[in-house]
Amino acid sequence: VIERVLGQGGMGLVLQARHAQLGQPVAIKVIRPGAGVDAESNARFLREAWAAATLNSEHIVRVSDVGVLPSGAPFMVMEYIEGQDLARLAAARGPLPWGEAIGYVLEACVGLAEAHARGIVHRDLKPSNLFLAQQSGTVRLKVLDFGIAKAPVARSAVTAGHDVPSSSGGALALTGAVGLLGTPYYMAPEQFRSARDVDGRADVWALGVILHELLAGALPFPGRTLDEVLAAMAAGAPDVRRGRPDVPAGVAQVIQACLQPDLSRRVPTVGRLAAALAPFVPASAALAERAARVLGEPAVGPVHDGGEGDVGHADGGPAASDAGGDVDARSDG
């Protein structure tokens, strides 16, 4: 039974509904007929949605059903969750305490680790797809939108209904992005070349962008056109400590390692990313261990094989003085 519209964009609707027999609340994502989505995109939506339905992590919004309406529009049924996404949180509060921001990224790493272990790459991570769900008196981050992660970005992100939230809470119109699969501000360089030839390192890049944005209150690669974003990327990622001197140098180094255009120099997995960040928030170390276990990796170890920007060993790279002082930062909201 459909109860209300939760949200809508250029491609589809998200509806709140209630299971007719069980009485349980659910959310239904439907691709709207006439939204300019072709048969190939609909088929891709269904493939990705079925893949997402195999994921059971508590840090991923669970998909319980996938199908096609009589109109031909594909849909998926997901668990209904209450709370807010990181885009809204950042818009309301501005730059976050670094321990809090790292904690959110670590939770995302746990969910993504299961997806990557199954060969599923999100490809469209951004703050609005990281949701802080309030469940049973606790707040847990859940990754959203595995099912439409490959949805095309229209020429104008705003006029197409694909708003890209800025840290100030507004929406940025991005022109010249026709045909891309993802949100350009968070896309890794290899995604601009080919949406198909990407792996989990594209999601690592996006997490680096997100962590920088949560800490600095601004995107590392800003721009109002695709050309401006690409030019910012070519100039290299700025040091997050320029605007946030309280952020440990080791955290800034991890972000830089996530934002390496050269895949051989980028943090290779979300497990390695979690291992590199966990020492800065010891209370969240169990999250890094879970991510590593899912991927069959050691909980600590070198983030990558070396070269400039090497983060080093997760248990020895950050100085002890860098890893303290903000362990309980998440308690403020």
Q: Report d(CA 227, CA 235) in Å as an integer.
A: 12
Q: Report d(CA 187, CA 164) in Å as an integer.
A: 13
Token digits of residue 310: 């090497």
Q: Report d(CA 66, CA 29) in Å as an integer.
A: 10
Q: Report d(CA 223, CA 54) in Å as an integer.
A: 37
Strand (E) positions, the chain? 2-8, 12-18, 25-31, 63-68, 74-79, 83-85, 130-135, 138-143, 152-153, 164-165, 171-172, 180-181
Helix (H, G, I), strand (E, B), or coil: what is residue 269?
coil
Token digits of residue 261: 């255009």
- Of 202, 210, 107, the closest CA to residue 167 belongs to 210
Q: Is the dihedral of CA 296, 302, 306, 310 positive or negative?
A: positive
Catalytically annotated residues: 124
Letter string b/e over residues 32-55, b meaning 16 or more CB atoms within 10 A of that residue's CB:
beebebeeebeebbbebbebbbeb
Greatest Cα pair distance in the chain: 61
Token digits of residue 165: 């939230």
Q: Report d(CA 220, CA 213) in Å as an integer.
A: 7
